[in-house]
A = this chain, B = another copy of it.
């Protein structure tokens, strides 16, 4: 059984190797894709894909194309999200955002190409040889569904349209279920699909993902008011300044902490249908609920 660091090394190597290798006229584009893809994020989504695959008793290497794909989708969404016509952020994880380095045209296109690459690697002959075409189809379909108009992108639209409107709790919840939890669901479900899980296990993985995804967002809101900007690596209190609804503004901080605890418990309970070692996934859920940044 591998530890988190081994998993992360596998992911970093697979990500860099999945970019086009060699000399191409579109070098700037590939550099731009690499700049954002190899940026040192926490890799939570691809980790979840590998961890669920291992939990199901399969070789995690089979899940690598799917782990890389979900990270590529996440990365493209961050590149587009930082653009001036969206959130207009000059920095991402302490580094200049993609369009500040490569220009808005290349940033748009490298986001687009990362989405294509996600599907290309999941459906490659190599991936399908180890996973079987019907499971490759099911995994890639899962990622497409959760990424699109009624998934991650839909959540971004709900976010844009809620700005300055003090959105009610149900809108905030739907937004986060789509904007954040959907891609985490895709990551967990794909790990199970590659791991030959049955439907009950896939539903359980989806429940785990849903719960840690929402807990993650609520923690974000809590940290925005309780943390220092040094701990957080970004300005604190930015949400209330923008008259943006948050879980804290709608429910108060104590109720929010209770919610994080109960969602984390839900996530852990959902894992009971698996007979393998669920300890790493339990720890991950607890870590996310106790994080300081």
Interface residues in chain A, defined as those with a beta carbon under 8 Å from any beta carbon in chain B: 20, 24-26, 28-30, 33, 76-77, 80, 83, 85-86, 103-106, 108-113, 115-117, 119-120, 123-125, 128, 133-134, 136-138, 140-141, 144-145, 147-151, 153-154, 156-158, 160-161, 171, 174
Contact = CB atoms under 8 A, between A and B. Distances in A.
A93 to B, nearest CB: 21
30 contacts: A20-B149, A24-B154, A25-B154, A26-B150, A26-B153, A28-B157, A33-B149, A76-B112, A77-B112, A80-B108, A80-B112, A85-B103, A85-B104, A85-B105, A106-B157, A108-B108, A109-B157, A112-B115, A113-B149, A113-B153, A116-B144, A116-B151, A117-B144, A117-B148, A119-B119, A119-B141, A120-B144, A124-B141, A128-B134, A133-B134
A149 B80 contact: no
Given A104-B85, A134-B133, A154 B119 contact: no
Given A119-B144, A120-B144, 18 more contacts: A26-B150, A26-B153, A26-B154, A29-B154, A77-B112, A80-B112, A85-B105, A106-B160, A113-B148, A113-B153, A116-B151, A120-B145, A120-B148, A123-B137, A128-B137, A133-B134, A133-B137, A137-B137
Contact of A157 (B26, B104, B115, B117): B26
A126 to B, nearest CB: 11
A33 to B, nearest CB: 7
Contact of A105 (B86, B116, B133): B86
A80 B104 CA distance: 11
A83 B80 CA distance: 13
Nearest to A141: B123
Contact of A115 (B29, B116, B151, B161): B116
Contacts of A140: 119, 123, 140
A29 B150 CA distance: 10
Contact of A28 (B123, B147, B161): B161
A116 B77 CA distance: 12
Nearest to A151: B116
A111 B149 CA distance: 10
A83 B108 contact: yes
A216 to B, nearest CB: 21
A222 to B, nearest CB: 25
B108 A149 contact: no
B124 A108 contact: no
A125 B145 CA distance: 12
A105 B141 contact: no
A24 B136 CA distance: 29
Contacts of A112: 76-77, 80, 111-112, 115, 153
A150 B24 contact: yes
A116 B147 contact: yes
